[in-house]
Amino acid sequence: MNGCAPVGSNFRMAMSCPSAPPITRRGFLKGLAGCTGGLAVAGFGYMRWLEPSWLASPRHTLTLPAWRAATPLRIAHLSDLHASPVVPYRQIERAIIDTLAASPDLICLTGDFVTREPDEPDHYARLLRRLSQAAPTFAVLGNHDGGAWSRNYGGQPDTRAVRRVLDLAEIQCLHNRSVTIELHGQPLHLVGVGDWWAGQLDARLAFGGGAGRQDELPTVVLSHNPDTKEALSPYPWDLLLSGHTHGGQLSLPLLGTPFAPVHDHRYVHGLKPWRDRWIHVTSGVGNLHGLRLGCRPEVSLIDITPQYDET
């Protein structure tokens, strides 16, 4: 011991070191308030100016028995671009650059291209067109992209504006319809559904009227809201791609994701099994209100690999 010890019962944390001034209770509390205020400002700054634009690129690998091609299929999954005053086009452009750098075979966009309306739609379309020029690109719409829900939120009363951007970008909008494409010599079935909150989901139409699997093609469904898994369960699919949750947008220690706008909080973020299928929910590129905490924006990559027989 060098003789520096707390003194007195009146909370004076004065040290007996002759060179150090005594720390009074008032001084201690002022310091504590200053530290707390500083931490609060730093925390808010992180939520507002750092994390919302701090793009991640998580990679997942998924084995699907129906994928028989020897070459894996790389899907880039982006969602919730939310072009708006708090999500500038330069942030969306960075996500597009990251996507192209990963050389995906297929690009899937699962809705909420805007928060209210497309500002400079031709510019937005030119940005998105860089995706469709690099790989087959398909999209579905989200609740913010127009319709009854969006109108009540102060957005577009219908989906025409966003659809026009997608048309100009040469991105196929799978609005309650499906297509079969071929990649690496392997046919792949893609199904897209309208948004659930917008009252536009018609799974029967999207799957071509039948609930029975027509063939053994690997099937990927694009649906903005992961809560649609139950409505889609009678139909044949292997992987559901969704967004909508923004990963919770604010993911809090102990509390989890209380603000995620879904009923089933098991499917807020990431690749997870559901019954005998898979669901991938991306935290998206943009955000609402300019805030994120504990769930960085992302461009997700999913590599689908064949299942080899163990003989």
Binding residues (CB under 5 A) for Fe ion: these are 80, 112
Shortest gap between Cβ of 113 and Fe ion (angstroms)?
Answer: 10
Containing 168, the helix (H) or strand (E) segment is helix 160-168
Q: Is 57 within 8 Å of 104 (Cβ atoms)?
A: no
- Which is nearest to 166 in space by CA: 193, 128, 117? 128
Nearest distance, CB of residue 80 and Fe ion, angstroms: 4
| CA 300 from centroid of its chain's CA atoms | 8
Nearer to Fe ion by Cβ, of 84 and 178: the residue is 84
C-beta atoms surrounding 110 within 10 Å: 30
Q: Which is nearer to Fe ion, 197 or 207 (CB)?
A: 197
Nearer to Fe ion, 113 or 235 (CB): 113
Nearest distance from residue 82's CB to Fe ion, in Å?
Answer: 6
The smaller minimum CB distance to Fe ion, of residues 98 and 112, is found at 112
Are the beta carbons of 105 and 69 closer than 8 angstroms?
Answer: no
Determine the residue with CB nearest Fe ion: 112
Closest CB to Fe ion among residues 80, 98: 80
Quote the crossing angle between the two packed helices 89-101 and 121-134, to the nearest 10°: 10
CB of 249 to Fe ion, least distance (A): 9
To Fe ion, the closest distance from the beta carbon of 118 in angstroms equals 15
Residue number, 192 or 218, with CB nearest to Fe ion: 192
Q: How far apart are CA 79 and CA 75, in angstroms?
A: 13
Q: What is the dihedral of CA 212, 70, 72, 211, to 10 degrees?
A: 0
- Specify whether the CB–CB gap between 17 and 4 falls below 8 A: yes
CB of 79 to Fe ion, least distance (A): 7
